[in-house]
């Protein structure tokens, strides 16, 4: 490759690296902690607790009032 071609290729590579870095930073800003925050704040706890509570109610129902078979 000639010197000018190497220089152009290096400049293109540098620009692409900058674009990739900017995209990563923007993605990180957009998604920053959203899922982790939801989990920490217990937003999914209601769904899980609901299932546990429902299973407990069903077990209590089966246990009380004799056999339901």
Query: How far is Cα 16 from Cα 62, in angstroms, rounded to an integer?
Result: 65
Residue 49 has pLDDT above 60, yes or no: no
Taking residues 42-62, report their average pLDDT: 69
On whether both 6 and 24 belong to a single domain, the answer is: yes
Query: How far is Cα 7 from Cα 58, in angstroms, rounded to an integer?
Result: 73
Q: In percent, how much of the chain has pLDDT > 70?
A: 72
To the nearest whole number, what is the mean pLDDT of the chain? 79
On whether both 6 and 23 belong to a single domain, the answer is: yes
pLDDT value of position 65: 54
Q: Quote the domain boundaries for residue 25.
A: 1-32
Query: How far is Cα 42 from Cα 68, in angstroms, rounded to an integer?
Result: 36
The total of structural domains in the chain comes to 2
pLDDT value of position 46: 57
The C-alpha torsion from 46 through 48 and 50 to 55, rounded to 10°, is -170
Query: How far is Cα 47 from Cα 52, in angstroms, rounded to an integer?
Result: 9
């Amino acid at each position: 490759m000639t010197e000018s071609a190497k220089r152009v290729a290096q400049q293109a590579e540098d620009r692409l690296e900058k674009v990739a870095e900017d995209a990563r930073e923007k993605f990180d800003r957009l998604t920053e902690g959203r899922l982790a925050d939801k989990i920490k704040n217990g937003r999914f706890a209601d769904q899980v607790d609901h299932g546990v509570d429902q299973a407990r109610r069903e077990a209590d129902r089966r246990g009380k009032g004799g056999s339901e078979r």
